[in-house]
Structure 1
Amino acid sequence: MAGQVSHELELNVPASQAWELYGTVALATLVEKGLPNLIQKIDLVEGDGGVGTVLQLRFAPGVPGKTDYKEKFTKIDNEKRIKEVEVVEGGYLDIGFTLYRTRIEVIEKENDSSVVKTTIEYELKEEAAANASLVSAETYAKIGEIAKNYLYKNKAS
């Protein structure tokens, strides 16, 4: 079984400025500080923010349905402003998913604005099909709002 969910967020900053945040590990630092009720800690396990970088996500105690996992940056295209991250250990892989990939695209719009499109692609074993209901873009909507506030406060003039 396979599927996907998406979320889009319009930003009043140029795509280049949004990509400076979304295309790097800086986003992880912002998420760790901005979602303390969800994320307890994000550790850089390996890498420098490029392809092959591995992050360990530790969820806050009592967060239902979330278990710690490692994710790996599998694609970073600075020209097209696309980053893909896959869960490589724990989390969704422990409950029947065979693929859990997040693709972030920063799309240039007119008048120095941009759109961040986040798409979660997943595959899971048939016997775990009910777990598809755990896939949600809600967390990325929250991350988007934190990123939006950060970018507006730090907007280049």
Structure 2
Amino acid sequence: MGVFTYETEFTSVIPPEKLFKAFILDADNLIPKIAPTAVKDTEILEGDGGVGTIKKVTFGEGSQYGYVKHRIDGIDKDNLTYSYTLIEGDVLSDVIEKIAYDIKLVASPNGGSIVKTTSHYHTKGDVEIKEEQVKAGKEKAAGLFKLVEGYLLANPDAYN
């Protein structure tokens, strides 16, 4: 088994605390509302929403994938960090065992946010995952991020 790590950064004009509330803490409600073709719904299969919770995300009809299950590994509301692992679903191919994500939001000098994501791809066997292979997933994540940002700009009183 190999582990391949990739880092991504997004910037936003939205302050980190507000963005964390919307993009992380309320994503299960907000994203299906603003992007129903991307995410149809999210349901908790076990747990209370905290660390150890298993969630099933069902993708919208426009997606090439059906669902994923992920486990919440860490939530730190004070330091604006969130960790989770994709553990099942058709996003995981026959060569990927799991994908772990670590997300941290920090304040940018202009009053907005920098969203830093580290992805750890755990492969089966000696398969190597190259950055070009994860590019589509990064682009979809960036698209959802921009939709959340647009929603917050259009609804300035939300998530205060």
Q: TM-score normalised to the size of structure 1?
A: 0.80
Cα distance in 2 between the residues matched to 1:70 and 1:131: 23
Other structure's SS at 1:116 match: strand
Other structure's SS at 2:50 match: coil
User: Is the contact between residue 85 and residue 103 of structure 1 (CA under 8 Å) also seen in structure 2?
Assistant: yes
Deviations 1:65-105 (A, max 9, x none): x2422111111122221101111233345623223012221
The reply on whether 1:11 has 2:12 as its aligned counterpart is yes
The reply on whether 1:85 has 2:84 as its aligned counterpart is yes
The reply on whether 1:34 has 2:12 as its aligned counterpart is no
| Equivalent residue letter for 1:59 | F
Cα distance in 1 between the residues matched to 2:37 and 2:125: 32
Equivalent residue pairs, number = 155
Q: TM-score normalised to the size of structure 2?
A: 0.78
Deviates more, 1:49-58 or 1:30-39: 30-39
Partner in structure 2 of residue 76 of structure 1:
75
Cα distance in 2 between the residues matched to 1:118 and 1:82: 10
Deviates more, 1:105-114 or 1:33-42: 33-42
Other structure's SS at 1:36 match: coil
Partner in structure 2 of residue 63 of structure 1:
63
Gaps of 5+ in 1: none
Cα distance in 2 between the residues matched to 1:12 and 1:98: 35
Question: Relative to structure 1, is the Cα distance of residues 154 and 34 closer, same or farther in structure 2, using a 3 angstrom cutoff?
Answer: closer
Deviation at 1:63, TM superposition (A): 3.2
Other structure's SS at 2:17 match: helix
Deviation at 1:33, TM superposition (A): 2.4
Deviation at 1:130, TM superposition (A): 6.5
Question: Relative to structure 1, is the Cα distance of residues 61 and 153 closer, same or farther in structure 2, using a 3 angstrom cutoff?
Answer: closer
The reply on whether 1:46 has 2:46 as its aligned counterpart is yes
Cα distance in 1 between the residues matched to 2:14 and 2:62: 36
Question: Relative to structure 1, is the Cα distance of residues 104 and 8 closer, same or farther in structure 2, using a 3 angstrom cutoff?
Answer: same
Identical aligned residues as a percent? 23
Gaps of 5+ in 2: none
Deviates more, 1:99-108 or 1:133-142: 133-142
Partner in structure 2 of residue 151 of structure 1:
152
Question: Relative to structure 1, is the Cα distance of residues 108 and 89 closer, same or farther in structure 2, using a 3 angstrom cutoff?
Answer: same
